[in-house]
Amino acid sequence: MGNEARFDLFENDLAARFAKRFAGTALVIQQSSLPKSLQELVSLRASQVNGCGHCVDMHVKEAAAAGESAVRLGLVATWRESTVFTDAERAALALAEEGTRLADAHRGVSDETWSQVREHFDDDLTAALVCQVALINAANRLAVITGQKGGSYEVGAFAGFHG
């Protein structure tokens, strides 16, 4: 298919209006007390699972800009076999994976993962995590369905899009 997307969501009036509201929803999570780096790690892992090159590109670059190291970013895909993530981060990454692979798991998010999330995160942080997982999965679907490619994202590209 090359480098061109199948469909430009920003060139269509209905899709652009939706995207603007979608970005406003993201702003709620961005302004929460959930650390920016954890928002990005969760988004990165879900995007990897979903095979979304555009979102992987975006969240790797945004995470690096938020101070994440190349080592940690490189190990997100294999976080279970890595030593660089805290127990809280591991709980969030498990939630991201299980919340992304709903049909694969045949049970959604496991009680074990939920228990780990609740051990490490208060109600507001848990709400932000759940919303982040739902939001990134929706974003992945928008990008994959329309054929958005990874590689050209620039940090902060959507910063002023909430209008």
In this model, does residue 1 exceed pLDDT 50?
no
pLDDT by residue (tens digit) across 56-73? Answer: 999 999 999 999 999 999
Helix (H, G, I), strand (E, B) or coil at 82: coil
pLDDT by residue (tens digit) across 6-57? Answer: 998 888 999 989 988 998 999 999 999 999 999 999 999 999 999 999 999 9
Locus of tokens 């929803």: 25
Handedness of CA 98, 104, 108, 113 (dihedral sign): negative
Contact 140, 56 (CB under 8 A): no
